Amino acid sequence: ALFLNQLQKDLEEVKELLTNATRKRVRDVLVAEKQKLELEIKNQPPPKPKDAAEEEKSSLGGYTVKINNYGWDQSDKFVKIYISLNGVQKLPAENVQVNFTERSFDLLVKNLNGKNYTMTFNNLLKPISVEGSSRKVKTDMVLVMCKKKREEKWDCLTQVEKESKEKEKAAYDTTDPSEGLMNILKKMYAEGDDEMKRTINKAWVESREKQYKGDIPMDI
C-alpha cells in the first residue's frame, strides 16, 4: 500500500508538470512517464482487507522476505518457475503454500530459518488451469507448475513483460533515425534516476540555446 501511495504521488506530480509544459518533446517525455506510472498502478495487487492481512501477519510471525530471483522454462503443457531456497525440503509440507488463479499465483514459504518468504505473479501472460497447477518441493528449491489452458508457447511470463518488450522494440524499430534516438532518450528519461533526468534536461537546454544562436536550425 505504501509503494502504491508513492506511485500515485509521482503520477500527480507528472500530471501537474504536464499542465505547465509547453515544449512538445518535454511533453512527450512526461506523457511517456505518465503512461508508465498508470500501468504500474494498474498492475499493483489489490489490498487485502485489513483484518485478513493482520490475521495472516500475526499467524506468520518473524520477518517476511519478498523473493525476486527465479528461473523459468516451459513444456507444451506447463510453465515452470524455479525458486531457490536453501533447506526448504526440511520444512513440513503445509509450510509451502501456493494459491493459483486463472492469471496469477502467489507463493508463501513459512518459517524457513526463522523467516517467511513470499512471491507474487500477477497478470500472467495467458490463462492457466487452477486445478491442474501445483508445486513441488525439491532440494533447496520450490518448483511451481502452472498448467497451461492451451498448449502454446509463452514468449514471457507476464503481460507487463510483454508490454515492456513491445515498447522497447518500438523504440528501435523506426525509419527516422532522429525519432529512434528521441524514443531511446525518452526511455532513458522515464526509467532513469534524478541524475539521468538532470543530464538529459541539461542537454535539451543547451540544444535550445544553440538553436537560438543559429548554430543548429532544428527544433530540439
pLDDT, tens digit (0-9, with 9 covering 90-100), for 89-119: 999 999 999 999 999 999 999 999 889 999 9
CATH number assigned to the domain covering 64-148: 2.60.40.790
Exposed / middle / buried, residue 61 (Cβ in 10 Å: 0-12, 13-18, 19+): exposed
Beta-carbon contacts of residue 72 (< 8 Å; ≥ 6 apart): 79, 80, 81, 82, 157
C-alpha grid cell, residue 49: 482487507
How confident is the model over 41-93, as pLDDT tens digits?
888 776 666 555 555 554 556 688 999 889 999 999 999 999 999 999 999 99
Every domain of the chain with CATH number 4.10.860.10 lies at 1-43
Every domain of the chain with CATH number 2.60.40.790 lies at 64-148
| Strands 115-121 vs 63-66: parallel, antiparallel or unpaired | parallel
| Count of positions (residues) in the chain | 220
**Residue 137 and residue 88: Cα distance in Å, rounded?**
7
Whether the model clears a pTM of 0.75, i.e. scores above it, the answer is no
The helix, strand and coil proportions of the chain, stated in percent and rounded to the nearest 5, come to 45, 25, 25
How confident is the model over 170-220, as pLDDT tens digits?
766 655 555 666 676 777 778 778 887 887 787 777 777 766 665 555 554
Beta bridge partners of 18: none
Q: Please tell me the class of the 1-43 domain.
A: few secondary structures
